[in-house]
Amino acid sequence: MTFLKQLLTATVVMLVSLPGVAGDIPVALAGLLERQSLANHAEIAQLGSYNLTSLAQAGEQNYAYLTQFGLENTLTVEQQGFNNSVTAEQSGRSNSATILQVGANNVIQLQQLGDGNSITIQQTGAAAEMSITQFK
């Protein structure tokens, strides 16, 4: 099996207005995406300030749909295996999620709403499904 390794660092810029400042000031949001192998798919959207997303995909046909809205949210996802799927949304302030998914045909759906939520998820095996919603 031949492995293709891509490293892509994306910075998203959002314009905000600050009191006492003429015009808009760009605030950087960071995302890190690392893929090993072929046919993995990722969509990362961040809106707000100081959000950080880190994604590592190893294997084939893994899917990650990651969204963060708000301030100071952190999302770390690692996928290993085949045909795994993670959909994660964090909205609010100072939310944290760490997800490890290993195996085949696994599904995780995570939604954290509010401020100060924290979760660590480890999903291993085959054909496991998990859906979690946290409000705080």
DSSP of 64-76: EEEEEEEES-EEE
Query: What does pLDDT average to over the chain?
Result: 81
| Domain interval for residue 128 | 5-16+24-135
- Residue partners of 51: CB distance under 8 A and separation at least 6: 29, 30, 68, 70, 71, 72, 73, 74, 75
Mean pLDDT of 41-57: 93
Per-residue pLDDT for 125 more than 90?
A: yes
Highest mean pLDDT among 18-22, 47-51, 127-131: 127-131
Token pair for 60: 């084939």
Token pair for 83: 């045909």
Number of domains in the chain: 1
* pLDDT attached to residue 18: 36
- pLDDT over 90 percentage in the chain: 70
